[in-house]
């Protein structure tokens, strides 16, 4: 059975004291609740260890938003997968469209990051999704298929089975323009059908696939009710405890 997951992506927001306060607030809000999903908080690197230490509800895992594509050494400013693991984090968000666009992350770089993440027993939340002009040309399926073919579809069955996939149409990220429930369900069902072709029905049925892009407390219940939507990757709405917890409770 695949897991439902609601993952927050704080991006480059919150100082350490602010982040710690938000994490504790969310932790307290879900303590003792009967939830139908796992909660993940994707914090900046500097927050990881403190946030992981501060959580006590047993319901929240911590994610980094990136890691280096090298094992260790003279790479000033980089943070390795092993270093992320040593903080107590359990997940790493990889291939976010902001990293692909602003930091020129290619499929080759992402392959190295996915491999190092897995080698360090961290779970990649692997992002894919098309820009607006691709959606307008109605070629989004081919675009997303290529992103997956060039990266995670090269993994072994054993490794692919450890992944979480997040579909995030770039035109919906931070824009308030959510994909319609039909568009999101259609793409996630398509991704699942590609996983069936590549790795078989059982792995496809067990892979958690998330939707991301202006997901909020209002639209989450309808999105999460779709058969192929196993949760959300949440940007803006993960920065306020009430909003985020309402999304968590949409399951």
Contact status: 129 vs ligand PEP (CB under 6 A): no
Asked if 248 is part of the footprint of ligand PEP (rule: CB under 6 A), the reply reads no
Q: Identify the three-state secondary structure at position 68.
A: coil
Q: Is 222 a catalytic residue?
A: no
Question: Does the footprint of ligand PEP cover residue 66 (CB under 6 A)?
Answer: no
Does residue 214 belong to the site contacting ligand PEP (CB under 6 A)? yes
| Residue selected from 16, 75, 174, 206 as contacting ligand PEP according to rule CB under 6 A | 174
Confirm if 38 and 4 have CB atoms less than 8 A apart.
yes
Based on CB atoms, which residue is closest to ligand PEP, 43 or 214?
Answer: 214
Burial (Cβ within 10 Å: 0-12, 13-18, ≥19) of residue 244: buried
The residue annotated as part of the active site, out of 90, 96, 98, 130, is 96
Specify whether the CB–CB gap between 223 and 215 falls below 8 A: yes
3-state secondary structure at position 93: strand
Catalytic site includes residue 98: no
The CA distance from 142 to 148, in Å, is: 10
**Closest CB to ligand PEP among 83 and 216?**
216
Contact (Cβ atoms closer than 8 angstroms) between residue 117 and residue 162? no
Of residues 216 through 245, those in contact with ligand PEP by CB under 6 A are: 233-237
SS (H, E, C) 28-66: HHHCCCCCCCEEEEECCHHHHHHHHHHCCCCCEEEEECC
Among candidate residues 38, 98, 105, 168, the one labeled active-site is 168
Q: Which is nearer to ligand PEP, 171 or 199 (CB)?
A: 171
The Cα 220–Cα 248 span in angstroms is 9
Interacting residues with ligand PEP between 2 and 61 (CB under 6 A): 9
Nearer Cβ to ligand PEP (83/238) = 238
Task: Give φ, ψ of 45 to 5 degrees.
Answer: -50, -45
Q: Which residue lies nearest ligand PEP, judged by its C-beta?
A: 235
Please, what is the minimum distance in Å from the beta carbon of residue 177 to ligand PEP? 9
- Interface residue list for ligand PEP (CB under 6 A): 9, 168, 173-174, 212-215, 233-237
The set of catalytic residues is: 96, 168
């Amino acid at each position: 059975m695949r897991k439902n997951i609601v993952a927050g992506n704080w991006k480059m927001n919150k100082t350490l004291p602010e982040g710690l306060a938000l994490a504790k607030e969310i932790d307290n809000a879900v303590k003792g609740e009967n939830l139908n999903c796992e909660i993940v908080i994707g914090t900046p690197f500097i927050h990881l260890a403190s946030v992981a230490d501060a959580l006590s509800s047993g319901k929240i895992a911590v994610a980094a938003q990136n890691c280096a594509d090298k094992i260790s050494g003279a790479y000033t400013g980089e943070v390795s997968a092993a270093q992320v693991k040593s903080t107590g984090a359990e997940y790493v968000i990889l291939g976010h469209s902001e990293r692909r666009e602003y930091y020129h992350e290619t499929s080759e770089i992402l392959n190295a990051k996915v491999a190092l993440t897995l080698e360090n027993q961290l779970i990649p939340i692997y992002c894919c999704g098309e820009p607006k002009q691709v959606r307008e040309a109605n070629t989004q399926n081919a675009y997303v298929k290529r992103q997956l073919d060039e990266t995670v579809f090269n993994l072994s069955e054993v490794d692919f089975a450890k992944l979480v996939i997040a579909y995030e149409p770039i035109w919906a990220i931070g824009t308030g323009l959510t994909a319609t429930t039909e568009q999101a369900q259609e793409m996630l069902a398509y991704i699942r059908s590609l996983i069936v072709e590549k790795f078989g029905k059982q792995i496809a049925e067990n892979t958690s696939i998330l939707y991301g892009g202006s997901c909020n407390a209002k639209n989450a219940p309808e999105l999460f009710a779709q058969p192929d939507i196993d949760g959300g990757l949440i940007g803006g709405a993960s920065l306020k405890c009430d909003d985020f917890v309402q999304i968590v409770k949409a399951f």
